[in-house]
Amino acid sequence: MSMGPGGMGRGMRGFMTEEEKQQAPKVTKELLVRVFSWLKPYWKQFALTLFCILISSVLSILPSVLTGEIIDKGLYGRNLPLLIRLILLSLLVTFLSNLIGVAESYLNSWIAQHITFDMRNQLFRHLQTMSQRFFTTNNQGDIVTRMTSDVDGVKRVVTDTFSSILSNTITLIVAMTAMFQRNWILAVLGIIIVPLFAIPTRRAGKTRWSLTREAQACNDEINGILNETLSVSGQTLVKLFGKEETEYKRYEEANRRMIALNIRESMAGRWFRVIISTVSSIGPMLLYLVGGILMMKYNSDLTVGDITVLVTLLSRMYGPVNQLLNIQVDWIRSMALFTRIFEYLDMEPEIKNCQNPIIPAAATGSVKFDHVGFYYEYPHQILKDISFELNAGHSIAIVGPSGSGKSTMINLIPRLYDATEGTVYFDSVDVRKLDLAWLRSNIGIVTQDTYLFNGTIRDNLLYAKPEATEEELIEACRKANIYDFIEAQPDGMNTIVGNRGLKLSGGEKQRISIARVLLKDPALMIFDEATSALDSISEQKIQDAIDPLIESRTSILIAHRLSTILAADEILVLKNGEIVERGQHADLVRQGGVYTELYETQFGAGNVSGPEDEAGRVAGWNASYTEGEGNA
Ligand code: ADP
């Protein structure tokens, strides 16, 4: 199980895993400067917080000291007015200390929230500049963890760690000074006793902590099962394979382990309390004993009040000492959190604007690949020596077996990736020299796995053009052949598409995304046709939707259907990352090469037909073509 430092709960402070110990970051001056630079905008509030901590720590010790006066001067001195005054003073001081405590926690949480607000926004902005490669190689959960738990961890650092170091140190100093003022022998005794409290606490805490960790691992597993099985696609799988009982057993088993762990954990807590309460009562008793001996045998000028003050102060020291003992771990963990976040912030975007990027006045959408080569990971070459030219207003169909590099090829045009060899031109300019935002605004892509946000159909359409009028929306939907469907819905444009558009069929989703791209009205249109088999009616609808997309517009079609292929001006046949054939349908069929092979597996030899045939609408090219891919 991997658990980031951000996943640690509050209850587990004080101990580190082996993994954490190994990964503990080196705390350098640069790191500290960087950590504290986040505080800079809020230094005034921070200074005020420090002041509050100082005052409230001093005030919180004062009532313990006043107890001595109450006993000696008020009670033994039989002075009622003084007694009342001391009592009132003590109450007032307690009240004030708590009042300042309120201000302190407000400021603290205000600062922490503002820092994490800045941090989240900066991270989000930065992550959006990251390239496609970052998102395909990094685990999505990991990215989300850094954005959420790690940043939350930082918030805890600011609210807990920093202020805890300060307030505990101050409390200890004040308490110790007060003790030494009363009697140095008892003060020294106290200083020896306090760590004795802390050690068994740590030991008991450690046992409990390892149980908590085990419980958390178990909990992660349970969450995993829930996420897997109670998601839409998970449930579909479970149902179709009849795995309900298996999944239930798995869940029940994990649940059972969880309760056993929880019971052990709560019992560990019981033992812990037995030890603590015994040990912690030894300290005061020792002070009473030694104080009494000093008073009775050595005629010290110690009073009952003094001894009471010392005992009270001793118990006040226990908490801060214990917390300070844990601080080191908190501190290292906090630095680890900051380091993890800085790691993300320091990542250079792989793809970004060059200096002085070109922004042409208008786009025609023409594309040229000049000896383009590409690999995701060296030396696994995906594209080899690709050259072609797509003139403005024309269209190209790319065909080839699955995995031949078709999608990779089109990803190079909007610079989702950059070519590793050769040059890609858009409107006769090297794409790397064009303004990235301008380039992408002029390219529309309809992908296979259409992504719709969970919202209404209207929201999804407006994403492309927020200022679009209702007429424009309807016009785009009509062209994309989806308007009849939308009109038939009780909520029309306001129909909720569901999580990732799951409430719609594949064909409907794709047509909505076509409408979305039509609203964007890009100079270059790229259409990645779905490989999934559609019935001929759906296919016809999609075809009718594509026509307005590509008519009089520069377009590239990754085609799986014969009808789409026939609509293009030129066909490129891709195999193993290379263009092996190119030309028109009839010529390619006549060549008897890869294209013919792909084509013949669909319709059988002898059934080869030219573009002038009705074959343009032969259903089935797609379905069996896809199946045939495995052999290709
Ligand atoms: P097609 O679109 O023709 O099906 P792709 O362009 O999707 O082909 O894939 C071409 C090759 O690149 C495949 O071998 C695939 O495994 C690989 N590939 C695709 N995406 C990535 C990626 N993000 N990282 C590494 N390899 C990838």
pLDDT at 107: 92
Pair (423, 569) in one structural domain: yes
pLDDT at 43: 92
Residues sharing a CB contact under 8 Å with residue 106, sequence separation 6 or more, in sequence order: none
- 289 domain-assigned: yes
Output 297 or 275, whichever has higher pLDDT.
297
CB 197 within 8 Å of CB 280: yes
Distance 406 CA to ligand 1 centre (A): 8
Residue nearest to atom 24 of ligand 1 (CA): 376
> Is residue 11 over pLDDT 50?
no
Order of strands across the sheet with 429-430?
A: 381-390, 367-375, 421-426, 429-430
Pair (201, 281) in one structural domain: yes
Looking at ligand 1, which atom is closest to the CA of residue 402?
A: 4
Lowest mean pLDDT among 237-246, 325-334, 385-394, 516-525: 325-334
Pair (158, 285) in one structural domain: no
CB 612 within 8 Å of CB 588: no
> Is residue 196 over pLDDT 80?
no
pLDDT at 204: 65
Distance 203 CA to ligand 1 centre (A): 53
Average pLDDT, the chain: 83
Q: What would the two tokens of residue 254 be?
A: 């994990």
Distance 445 CA to ligand 1 centre (A): 17
Q: Which of 351, 407, 418, 598 for a ligand 1 pocket mutation test, highest count of atoms within 8 Å of Cβ? A: 407
Distance 405 CA to ligand 1 centre (A): 6
Q: Mean per-residue pLDDT for 21-31? A: 78
Output 159 or 134, whichever has higher pLDDT.
134
Residue nearest to atom 27 of ligand 1 (CA): 376
Looking at ligand 1, which atom is closest to the CA of residue 136?
A: 23
pLDDT at 16: 66
Distance 624 CA to ligand 1 centre (A): 22
Give the whole-angstrom CA distance, residue 226 versus residue 218.
Answer: 12
Q: Which amino acid is located at 114 in the chain?
A: H
Output 327 or 350, whichever has higher pLDDT.
350
CB atoms within 10 A of CB 9: 9
Pair (78, 147) in one structural domain: yes
Distance 378 CA to ligand 1 centre (A): 14
Angle between helix 184-229 and helix 232-240 axes, rounded to 10 deg: 60
Q: Mean per-residue pLDDT for 191-198? A: 76
Lowest mean pLDDT among 216-230, 500-514, 582-596: 500-514
Q: Which of 131, 376, 560, 625 for a ligand 1 pocket mutation test, highest count of atoms within 8 Å of Cβ? A: 376
Name all residues whose Cβ lies below 6 A of ligand 1. Answer: 136, 376, 382, 400, 402-408
Distance 452 CA to ligand 1 centre (A): 23
> Is residue 607 over pLDDT 70?
no
Q: What would the two tokens of residue 111 be?
A: 């600062």
Distance 411 CA to ligand 1 centre (A): 11
CB 465 within 8 Å of CB 520: yes
Residue nearest to atom 14 of ligand 1 (CA): 403
CB 294 within 8 Å of CB 300: yes
Looking at ligand 1, which atom is closest to the CA of residue 409?
A: 6
Q: What would the two tokens of residue 230 be?
A: 């109670």
Which stretches of 476-541 are assigned E, i.e. beta strand?
524-528
- Domain boundary among the residues 324, 348, 372 is at 348
- 533 domain-assigned: yes
- Mind listing the pLDDT tens digit for each residue in 395-437? 999 998 888 999 999 999 999 999 999 999 999 999 999 999 9
> Is residue 613 over pLDDT 70?
no
Residue nearest to atom 19 of ligand 1 (CA): 408
pLDDT at 289: 93
- 573 domain-assigned: yes
Residue nearest to atom 16 of ligand 1 (CA): 403
Residues sharing a CB contact under 8 Å with residue 130, sequence separation 6 or more, in sequence order: 347, 349, 350
Give the whole-angstrom CA distance, residue 444 versus residue 463.
Answer: 13
- 599 domain-assigned: no
Distance 86 CA to ligand 1 centre (A): 80
pLDDT at 531: 61
Pair (462, 532) in one structural domain: no
Give the whole-angstrom CA distance, residue 345 versus residue 100.
Answer: 37
Residue nearest to atom 5 of ligand 1 (CA): 405
- Mind listing the pLDDT tens digit for each residue in 34-75? 988 988 999 999 999 989 988 988 898 888 889 999 999 999
Q: Mean per-residue pLDDT for 566-574? A: 90
User: Measuring CA to CA, which residue among 94, 95, 92, 72 is closest to residue 83?
Assistant: 72
- Mind listing the pLDDT tens digit for each residue in 485-529? 999 988 889 988 876 666 788 788 888 888 998 898 899 999 887
- Burial (CB count <10 Å: 0-12, 13-18, 19+), residue 357: middle
Looking at ligand 1, which atom is closest to the CA of residue 577?
A: 10
User: Measuring CA to CA, which residue among 505, 507, 499 is closest to residue 234?
Assistant: 499
- Mind listing the pLDDT tens digit for each residue in 360-401? 998 999 999 999 999 998 889 999 999 999 999 999 999 988
> Is residue 7 over pLDDT 70?
no
- Burial (CB count <10 Å: 0-12, 13-18, 19+), residue 26: exposed
Parallel, antiparallel, or unpaired for β 429-430 and 570-575? unpaired
pLDDT at 543: 77
Output 536 or 591, whichever has higher pLDDT.
591
pLDDT at 18: 67
Residue nearest to atom 26 of ligand 1 (CA): 376
Distance 594 CA to ligand 1 centre (A): 20
SS3 letters for 161-200? HHHHHHHHHHHHHHHHHHHHHHCHHHHHHHHHHHHHHHHH
Pair (435, 455) in one structural domain: no
Q: Which of 138, 350, 408 for a ligand 1 pocket mutation test, highest count of atoms within 8 Å of Cβ? A: 408
Distance 383 CA to ligand 1 centre (A): 10
Give the whole-angstrom CA distance, residue 543 versus residue 563.
Answer: 8
If residue 558 lies in a helix (H) or strand (E), which one and from where to where?
A: strand 554-558
Q: What percent of the chain has pLDDT over 70?
A: 88
> Is residue 350 over pLDDT 80?
yes
Looking at ligand 1, which atom is closest to the CA of residue 528?
A: 2
Pair (539, 515) in one structural domain: no
- 5 domain-assigned: no
Residue nearest to atom 22 of ligand 1 (CA): 376
Distance 423 CA to ligand 1 centre (A): 20
Most confident of 161-170, 533-542, 598-607: 161-170
pLDDT at 391: 94
pLDDT at 91: 94
Distance 500 CA to ligand 1 centre (A): 23
Pair (502, 550) in one structural domain: no
- 118 domain-assigned: yes
If residue 467 lies in a helix (H) or strand (E), which one and from where to where?
A: none
Looking at ligand 1, which atom is closest to the CA of residue 404?
A: 3
Residues sharing a CB contact under 8 Å with residue 429, sequence separation 6 or more, in sequence order: 358, 360
Instruction: Find where tokens 């858009």 sit.
Output: 426
Pair (88, 27) in one structural domain: yes
pLDDT at 501: 66
> Is residue 461 over pLDDT 60?
yes
- 35 domain-assigned: yes
Most confident of 404-413, 544-553, 620-629: 404-413
pLDDT at 469: 93
Looking at ligand 1, which atom is closest to the CA of residue 401?
A: 3
- 153 domain-assigned: yes
581, β-bridge pairs: 573
CB atoms within 10 A of CB 32: 12
Q: How many domains does the chain have?
A: 4
CB 424 within 8 Å of CB 434: no
Residue nearest to atom 10 of ligand 1 (CA): 405
Pair (52, 154) in one structural domain: yes
pLDDT at 327: 77
Residue nearest to atom 20 of ligand 1 (CA): 408
Going by pLDDT thresholds of 50, 70 and 90, the confidence category of residue 4 is very low
Distance 408 CA to ligand 1 centre (A): 6
User: Measuring CA to CA, which residue among 382, 342, 298, 351 is closest to residue 574?
Assistant: 382
CATH number, position 132 = 1.20.1560.10
HSE-CB of 154 using CA atoms within 13 angstroms: 27
Pair (456, 510) in one structural domain: yes
Residue nearest to atom 23 of ligand 1 (CA): 136
Residues sharing a CB contact under 8 Å with residue 591, sequence separation 6 or more, in sequence order: 581, 583
Pair (386, 426) in one structural domain: yes
Distance 577 CA to ligand 1 centre (A): 10
Looking at ligand 1, which atom is closest to the CA of residue 558?
A: 2
Give the whole-angstrom CA distance, residue 21 versus residue 483.
Answer: 60
390, β-bridge pairs: 367
> Is residue 106 over pLDDT 90?
yes
Distance 233 CA to ligand 1 centre (A): 23
Domain span holding position 27: 21-183+316-348
Distance 192 CA to ligand 1 centre (A): 67
Going by pLDDT thresholds of 50, 70 and 90, the confidence category of residue 602 is low
pLDDT at 117: 93
Looking at ligand 1, which atom is closest to the CA of residue 132?
A: 23
Residue nearest to atom 6 of ligand 1 (CA): 405
